[in-house]
Amino acid sequence: MTGSDAATLPGDATTRGRRRKKLRNQPGTPAPAERPVAAAEEERGLRAGWRVIAAKEFSDHILSIRFLVLTIILGLAAAAAVYATAGAIRDLASDASGSPSLFLKLFTVSRGDIPAFTTFIAFLGPLLGIAFGFDAINGERAEGTLPRLLSQPIHRDDVINGKFVAGLSAIAVIFTAVTLVVTAVGILQLGILPEPEEIARLLIWVVLAVTYVGLWLAIALLCSVVLRRAATSALVAIAVWLLVTLFATLVVGLIAGFIAPIPADAGQGSAEVLRNTALQQELARLSPSQLFEEATAAVLDPSIRTLSPGLVTAAQADRAIPSILSLGQSLLVIWPQFVALVAATAVMFALAYVSFMRQEVRA
DSSP-H helix ranges across the chain:
3-7, 13-25, 34-47, 49-62, 65-91, 93-96, 105-108, 117-133, 138-143, 146-150, 157-190, 196-226, 230-246, 248-259, 271-284, 288-300, 314-319, 327-358
The answer to whether residue 257 sits within a structural domain is no
The answer to whether residue 155 sits within a structural domain is yes
- Report residue 109's pLDDT band, with 50, 70 and 90 as the boundaries: confident
pLDDT tens readout for residues 243-285: 888 887 788 878 877 787 777 766 666 677 778 788 888 888 8
The answer to whether residue 12 sits within a structural domain is no
Amino acid at 291: L
The answer to whether residue 31 sits within a structural domain is no
The answer to whether residue 134 sits within a structural domain is yes
The answer to whether residue 270 sits within a structural domain is no
Specify the pLDDT at position 186: 78
The answer to whether residue 35 sits within a structural domain is no
Q: Which domain holds residue 185?
A: 46-246+285-358
The answer to whether residue 9 sits within a structural domain is no
- Report residue 203's pLDDT band, with 50, 70 and 90 as the boundaries: very high
State the Cα torsion 216-218-219-222 to the nearest 10°: 160
Work out how many domains the chain is built from and give that number. Answer: 1
Look at residue 123 and tell me whether its pLDDT is greater than 50.
yes
Among the listed ranges 79-93, 128-142, 183-197, 312-326, which one has the minimum average pLDDT value?
312-326
pLDDT tens readout for residues 212-238: 999 999 999 999 999 989 999 999 999
